[in-house]
């Protein structure tokens, strides 16, 4: 089990008030937006704030967001790349 992935799932559930969901309900490769977890544009902004707060990472180019926030795996990869 990847600790960062599990940590991200718990943080997203808490930050976005996703009542009734547990980390186990979120697949590492599932889409976070659209047909996947169903997040919306306000959630995207909240995730950007979460990244800044929890990981001190700023997304300089909003165009990057789509790729970064595609799934838990892509988000975790992005964080690791910034922390390396």
Partner 1 sequence: MQTIATIRIANSALYLNGQQMFAHEAENAEVFFKALYQYLKLEYPKFFKMDSLSKLGFLAVDALVQHTAEIKSYADDEIAVVFGNYASSLDTDQKYWNGVAAAEPVASPALFVYTLPNIVQGEIAIRHKWYGENMFLVLDRNNKTAVNNSAALLLETGKAKACVAGWVDYLNGAYEAEVALVRKPEE
* Residues within the interface to partner 1 (CB under 8 A): 16-20, 38, 42-43, 45-46, 49, 53
Nearest approach, Cβ of residue 2 and partner 1 (Å): 26
State which residue, 21 or 77, has the beta carbon closest to partner 1.
21
Nearest approach, Cβ of residue 65 and partner 1 (Å): 13
* Count of C-beta atoms within a 10 Å radius of residue 28: 15
What is the b/e burial string over 47-77, where b = at least 16 CB atoms within 10 angstroms of the residue's CB? bbebbeeebebebeeeeebeebbbbbebbbe
Nearest approach, Cβ of residue 1 and partner 1 (Å): 26
């Amino acid at each position: 089990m990847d600790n960062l992935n599990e940590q991200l799932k718990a943080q997203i559930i808490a930050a976005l008030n996703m009542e009734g969901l547990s980390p186990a309900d979120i697949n590492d490769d599932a889409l976070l937006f659209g047909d996947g977890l169903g997040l919306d544009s306000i959630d995207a902004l909240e995730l950007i704030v979460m990244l800044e707060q929890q990981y001190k990472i700023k997304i300089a180019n909003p165009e990057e967001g789509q790729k970064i926030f595609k799934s838990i795996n892509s988000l975790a990869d992005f964080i690791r790349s910034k922390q390396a």
